[in-house]
Structure 1
């Protein structure tokens, strides 16, 4: 038995059989440099040898790596045994079979989703009208991606024998069986998805994937219908018409479609797949945008570097597991289903992967920062090989080999940021990595525009002929810092009649109740306070107005009262027959994550006007559309959307200037912390008001900071560390009293969950200080009696989170139809 082994060291790149070092886009490095144990990885040799000797496969290539490098790359056995013997090499080209589904087709679909050309929720028939036959009119794109369309696995080969046109007619005429109710792994579904790519882009899936995936990533040996040169180093599969298939697609239906299909037809190599996996891991990384953008000088680049061919938000949606009749599937990917026999048992719950009929498998684990690539031609020569169990065991060996962090990923991220910063590029997508570092393709991202920017750009046509009452404050600014007040006062065809201000007043500096009316010096207009005698515009205040415009920057937390001001004013507009226009703005803490219990129905108040979680992940425009529908507000609502904002973006990725939204909301860090820290300020603890860092600390005269920090750090919460401190507030609670407590430091923005921190704090304070912590008023902002009673009873964080887990999941479904910015 022969094995072609590559040495696992950067100095040994020249010894990789048949691989030019200059083409090794992802460097092969010592396993230890990636935090992998070489002795553990060496166990793979014996596993593969046993299976080859049992004739379950003629040979294979195994590649294992983490972000920034390949720590294990070996070729075993033969890539051809008939009609002549040919040794396996690490650059062998393999027929990917069903790995085509996630790598080419699903990735292409998600890129089209990001481009706004396809929507997951939309019926397939919107893109392929002929598909709407025999009960298939309501099957969605997402249904096909997770195999719940009720379609048969494969249709008859005879359907393809009269040419492509007839083949598609017959495929589109196929029936369905209980779509949405069952899991049926279906090539038919992915054939259809390939056609959606063609209809939406004007290019077949081979052309689209080449232009949007393989070329940008530098996957030089990947694509459909490989060239003669690539075919010469392709692994042989079976015979077709008495000729051995080599560089010719094995799948008979793809073959009859000239080698190009959504379910099969892709060819690639281990090195190219490692490129894809590396970029994928960067895109799915839990590292914060600051960490990814940090240079080796310790300073931050202007913005984060998007690492994949799609945005982080798009990839996060692609990776989100869906339960399909007891099978966990992501979009185009397997997660844990009946087809997961090639999955390593030790991979994390975030791992996704897929296999191919010819003997291929690939798994990517963002949690472990690990990829495992197994490529074989198990169908050669007789079609009776078996490799899925072997691929699964190799995955477990690889996961068990992790014995430390991966310093390479941090170094490469820093290098990328430094290069990008030096070049002054905009938003970029990394291409491949040569042995030393990352080369970055420069693709400047369009500026994020808020609603007022869009309104001004469009010449204020949306308000033409309108008499406007503007609800705003100091955050109502365009990109150039001009006040919305002044822009509307001078807008052609618009008459600004009155101004309304929320809590903290028009300048955002007041921190007390009973704020009185005022007058704007620049325009001479009266400013009606909506945080004084009334919190809802009155009939008297609305005289002469036919349109209310709302433009205030929110921070994405339920009890931040600007949301209630918006909602109550919208109700007033409905009651008085006025038009209501929201100038939308990004959610500064992102539009993906949702955290915390929902407010109890029937308990709505000015600090929680609707049944949403503490962190809802919506913009004010999205909240307005949800509240109008769910609160049954009869009002003519228009949302002028922000442009070029992506749901996964925090404020630091927008390029917009930060403005302190209120006296104690002074940074993005404080906004991120607020849903978990601010919720307890109704109890007898200080959350830092009267200090330089409100919401970044919590304490009281009766708290032992060292003890509290030790307990909180011991809880193992991701993305955060707690430091014992002493502080003396100059204002607010415990004014001029020394307090013990903790500083809360976010170490990983992507992993950090503010409400989880808040609940851990509550459970710990209740356990350590049952007599000192006066929890009675906690429910004023929590607004969830079940969770409040559990805190009083001494429940731990896990028990508290379990109480609202189902509600939070249901809210995720509720909000879907109100999202204005992507999937």
Structure 2
């Protein structure tokens, strides 16, 4: 005979265990599922085709590189196309990447960040279909959307289809001024805000719809969308998207801190905590926190203020949930550092930095610098962005896949 208290305990425990299992199953069923992870949705489409893949270290199925997974499933991968930093992400920011043979698979790797940015006719003629599967971070100055456009251009010119395995955008908000096309560059090719609020697949639809390919061509695209995703969800990246975005904090802070690449302020390149700290030697005595950039192969060989002590802010303990929920670029740090910097005429001197470019190219206009030097408030600066942002948001609605 079972004791009544013991019997009730067993029943309660069983109910608890069952409810826990159900909750886990429910959470799993509602979890974000990337396009790449939905192998059953596109594997039959790739069977018996010669496949080209635009991929890097973020291109995973589960925890395994998608190239390896698809090869093991019998997909004929003829060539790999590597973006900035290369297929295995072992090249520094801005470094030219050469063509090579992948030592692990024997597949030719064609660099799209070396002698060319766009696959050649011969490259595309050698395949039946192109697959694009790269994690983006939602910023105009992160070069993956440029690579996307170049690949779409090559596919449209050669009548090849592009299969996009979509991934969430960890910075899926819309903020910053619209790029003035007078400042078009390698870190800004499209008339969009600094953070565009779209996934790669949504952006591809915008490229087609707005006629941004040459001669207003359209690329034939097929999309495997992300399941259980919307733009308000907080998404933690399973793989670092580039050598200098090596933590979730750096990914979330990147839209705000990358603007400092157009200044004399270091964002931590040359440390193992890039895009989570800010500082400069000239700020000694104004800040207690310090760091020293050094040359780090594969991350930053010639960082700004190399081997000099930089004084400034440590942002590693910022509340990432709050930053994500705010849905805006933080301008207060830029305003604070401009006010604190002793030699104002040197603040926007980015000539020592080998990373990006002038503030005009990063922010997208020549007004921001004037606004900052004139001492305008964040609210005043933001008000000047509103007409362009309102127009962009309306245009964007035509291309979004997710709520």
TM-score under structure 2 length normalisation: 0.83
Q: Residues 269-280 of structure 1 correspond to what in structure 2 (within 5 A)? A: none
Distance in 2, matches of 1:560 and 1:794, equals 29
Question: Counterpart in 1 of 2:50?
Answer: 467
Question: Counterpart in 1 of 2:310?
Answer: 739
Q: Residues 477-492 of structure 1 correspond to what in structure 2 (within 5 A)? A: 477-479=60-62, 481-492=63-74
Query: What is the alpha-carbon root mean square deviation over aligned residues?
Result: 2.6
Please tell me whether the aligned partners of residues 125 and 158 of structure 2 are also in contact (alpha carbons under 8 angstroms).
Answer: no
Please tell me whether the aligned partners of residues 613 and 808 of structure 1 are also in contact (alpha carbons under 8 angstroms).
Answer: yes
Q: Residues 49-60 of structure 1 correspond to what in structure 2 (within 5 A)? A: none
Say which SS state the counterpart of residue 113 (structure 2) adopts: coil
Question: Counterpart in 2 of 1:696?
Answer: 276
> CA 1:751/1:728 → structure 2, altered by over 3 Å: closer, same or farther?
closer
Question: Counterpart in 2 of 1:641?
Answer: 225
Q: Residues 337-376 of structure 1 correspond to what in structure 2 (within 5 A)? A: none
Q: Which of 172, 193, 196 is the matching residue for 1:616? A: 196
Deviation at 1:560, TM superposition (A): 0.8
Say which SS state the counterpart of residue 771 (structure 1) adopts: helix
Question: Counterpart in 2 of 1:814?
Answer: 395
Say which SS state the counterpart of residue 673 (structure 1) adopts: helix
> CA 1:471/1:794 → structure 2, altered by over 3 Å: closer, same or farther?
same
Please tell me whether the aligned partners of residues 448 and 645 of structure 1 are also in contact (alpha carbons under 8 angstroms).
Answer: yes
Question: Counterpart in 2 of 1:453?
Answer: 37
Say which SS state the counterpart of residue 500 (structure 1) adopts: strand
> CA 1:509/1:518 → structure 2, altered by over 3 Å: closer, same or farther?
same
> CA 1:755/1:775 → structure 2, altered by over 3 Å: closer, same or farther?
farther
Say which SS state the counterpart of residue 507 (structure 1) adopts: coil
Q: Residues 194-209 of structure 1 correspond to what in structure 2 (within 5 A)? A: none
2:356 is the alignment partner of 1:785: no
Question: Counterpart in 2 of 1:760?
Answer: 332
Distance in 2, matches of 1:557 and 1:608, equals 9
Say which SS state the counterpart of residue 64 (structure 2) adopts: coil
Q: Which of 378, 385, 392 is the matching residue for 1:797? A: 378
> CA 1:571/1:426 → structure 2, altered by over 3 Å: closer, same or farther?
farther
Distance in 1, matches of 2:95 and 2:272, equals 22
Deviation at 1:689, TM superposition (A): 1.0
> CA 1:767/1:775 → structure 2, altered by over 3 Å: closer, same or farther?
farther
> CA 1:802/1:600 → structure 2, altered by over 3 Å: closer, same or farther?
same
Q: Which has the higher contact order (CA 8 A, sep 6+)?
A: 2
Say which SS state the counterpart of residue 262 (structure 2) adopts: coil
- 5+ unaligned residues in a row in structure 2: which ranges? 1-15, 296-302, 351-357
Question: Counterpart in 2 of 1:730?
Answer: 294
Say which SS state the counterpart of residue 498 (structure 1) adopts: strand
Deviation at 1:687, TM superposition (A): 0.1
Distance in 1, matches of 2:174 and 2:195, equals 5
> CA 1:467/1:564 → structure 2, altered by over 3 Å: closer, same or farther?
same
Question: Counterpart in 1 of 2:100?
Answer: 518
Distance in 2, matches of 1:549 and 1:683, equals 37
Select between 633-642 and 766-775 the one with higher mean Cα deviation: 766-775
- 5+ unaligned residues in a row in structure 1: which ranges? 1-418, 429-441, 708-723
Question: Counterpart in 2 of 1:238?
Answer: none
Question: Counterpart in 1 of 2:178?
Answer: 598
Deviations 1:242-291 (A, max 9, x none): xxxxxxxxxxxxxxxxxxxxxxxxxxxxxxxxxxxxxxxxxxxxxxxxxx
Q: Which of 545, 557, 566 is the matching residue for 2:127? A: 545
> CA 1:611/1:444 → structure 2, altered by over 3 Å: closer, same or farther?
same
Please tell me whether the aligned partners of residues 166 and 201 of structure 2 are also in contact (alpha carbons under 8 angstroms).
Answer: yes
2:345 is the alignment partner of 1:771: yes
Deviation at 1:672, TM superposition (A): 0.9
Say which SS state the counterpart of residue 540 (structure 1) adopts: helix
Deviation at 1:574, TM superposition (A): 0.9
Deviation at 1:789, TM superposition (A): 3.2
> CA 1:647/1:445 → structure 2, altered by over 3 Å: closer, same or farther?
farther
Please tell me whether the aligned partners of residues 188 and 361 of structure 2 are also in contact (alpha carbons under 8 angstroms).
Answer: no
Say which SS state the counterpart of residue 339 (structure 2) adopts: helix
Deviation at 1:525, TM superposition (A): 1.3
Size of the alignment, in residue pairs? 364
Distance in 2, matches of 1:681 and 1:750, equals 24
2:131 is the alignment partner of 1:559: no
Distance in 2, matches of 1:762 and 1:551, equals 34
Distance in 1, matches of 2:127 and 2:182, equals 32
Distance in 2, matches of 1:661 and 1:687, equals 17
Deviation at 1:756, TM superposition (A): 4.0
TM-score under structure 1 length normalisation: 0.42
> CA 1:571/1:424 → structure 2, altered by over 3 Å: closer, same or farther?
same
Question: Counterpart in 1 of 2:257?
Answer: 677
Distance in 1, matches of 2:327 and 2:247, equals 15
Question: Counterpart in 1 of 2:114?
Answer: 532
Deviations 1:507-527 (A, max 9, x none): 112105211112123331110
Distance in 2, matches of 1:562 and 1:578, equals 20
Distance in 2, matches of 1:763 and 1:552, equals 34
Larger radius of gyration: 1
Distance in 2, matches of 1:821 and 1:787, equals 32
